Amino acid sequence: MSGGGNNVVNKVFYATSYHPIQAGSIDGTDVAPHDNGVRRALLCYNAGLYDPFGDSKAAGDPYCTLFVGRISHLTTEDTLREAMSKHGKVKSLRLVRHIVTGASRGYAFVEYETEKEMRRAYEDAHHSFIDGREIIVDYNRQQLMPGWIPRRLGGGLGGRKESGQLRFGGRERPFRAPLRPIPHEDLKKLGIQLPPEGRYMSRTQIPSPPRRKGCVSDREEGYYYRGEERSPVKREGSYHSHRESESAHRRHNNKDKEERSRIESRSDRKERSRGIEDRYGDKQDVSGSKRSNHGEERPHKRHKHRRPHHHRRSSSRDHHHSSDLDT
């Protein structure tokens, strides 16, 4: 089965989970490691030798944290904080340094106050310049990407051509849409993510960083764009176009307004009912029928029957008339 032919030559896709063999493949379809770095990463992957949460220095909320790479070795924490504060309020910053020499390792982790600010920086700070160096920005894959293996263990993403150990599937180097037959069965056996046939993306589209479970946002899982292109390719699953997310948000707001209006009208009826009860001593519904506290109709109060006055007068006359007859 072919990967799609000429119509996918300029299409790409991104990794949502990490596998060392796939990361070393330009189209994500390799089933065997091709360099020693991939073999070392595969050993750590299979043996579970890397714990992404074992770093005591990796504090903070991973959903609000960005990875910043290719930083100049002359850049200080203050300079980096000033540059990244243009996109939101920085809560904490950690510039990774050599444990012995204290020199900068060229990458850092920046935590923002909110996830919204992190996403703004994710979109705007990528390929910006600090101290004359072009930086790259990505989400915190160490803690948010399943199966992640860092570069120092042979994994990671990106890399330089001169290193001879490029890694694909990330923001800088996505997988190319396969032009050769895809070995579906072999990939499934290895637990490697299958290429999303028929749902490839263009290079100007970047998938949104992962969201925490249960999170609802006005800009749901969609795409970010570079340049002037604004024609999103709809993908199945968790990716939606920005327009669809806005309409869904409007529908959600309309439902909230309707629910609030129903609650308010219900409370108004209760207040009117209380007012009628205070005035007349009986609880009365909107139609005016008297009801008891349990909602049942109260029986009409019976009054003693009083004879009319003319009837009483006639009785007295009859009494006098009878007495006269007796006399």
Going by pLDDT thresholds of 50, 70 and 90, the confidence category of residue 294 is very low
Distance, CA of 206 to CA of 171 (rounded, Å): 7
Report the pLDDT value the prediction gives residue 250, as an integer from 0 to 100: 62
Q: Which of 26-30, 209-213, 274-278 has the lowest mean pLDDT?
A: 274-278
Average pLDDT over residues 119-141: 95
Radius of gyration of the chain (CA): 38
Q: What would the pLDDT profile of 304-318 be if each residue is shown by its tens digit? A: 555 555 444 544 445
**Residue 265, in any domain of the structure:** yes
Check: CB of residue 235 under 8 Å from CB of residue 16. no
Report the pLDDT value the prediction gives residue 292, as an integer from 0 to 100: 45
Report the pLDDT value the prediction gives residue 221, as an integer from 0 to 100: 47
**Residue 245, in any domain of the structure:** yes
CB-CB neighbours of 164 under 10 Å? 9
**Residue 248, in any domain of the structure:** yes
Report the pLDDT value the prediction gives residue 232, as an integer from 0 to 100: 43
**Residue 250, in any domain of the structure:** yes
Q: Which of 150-164, 250-264, 288-302 has the lowest mean pLDDT?
A: 288-302
Report the pLDDT value the prediction gives residue 3, as an integer from 0 to 100: 47
Residue 300 has pLDDT above 70, yes or no: no
Residue 284 has pLDDT above 50, yes or no: no
Going by pLDDT thresholds of 50, 70 and 90, the confidence category of residue 77 is very high
CA angle 210, 212, 218 (to 5 degrees): 80
The residue among 206 and 277 whose pLDDT is bigger is 206
Q: Which of the 8 DSSP states describes residue 225?
A: E
What is the domain range of residue 246? Answer: 220-281
**Residue 246, in any domain of the structure:** yes
Average pLDDT over residues 276-300: 48
Report the pLDDT value the prediction gives residue 280, as an integer from 0 to 100: 52
Check: CB of residue 220 under 8 Å from CB of residue 248. yes
Residue 20 has pLDDT above 90, yes or no: yes
- Domain count of the chain? 1
Q: What would the pLDDT profile of 78-128 be if each residue is shown by its tens digit? A: 999 999 999 999 999 999 999 999 999 999 999 999 999 999 999 999 999
**Residue 178, in any domain of the structure:** no
30 contacts: CB under 8 Å, gap ≥ 6:
21, 22, 24
Of 45-59, 207-221, 264-278, give the range with the top mean pLDDT.
Answer: 45-59
Report the pLDDT value the prediction gives residue 213, as an integer from 0 to 100: 82
Check: CB of residue 186 under 8 Å from CB of residue 194. no
Query: To the nearest whole percent, how much of the chain has pLDDT over 70?
Result: 65
**Residue 82, in any domain of the structure:** no
Query: To the nearest whole percent, how much of the chain has pLDDT over 90?
Result: 50
Residue 208: CA count within 13 A, CB half-sphere: 24
The rounded mean pLDDT for the chain is: 77
Nearest to 7 by CA among 199, 236, 240: 199
Average pLDDT over residues 146-154: 93
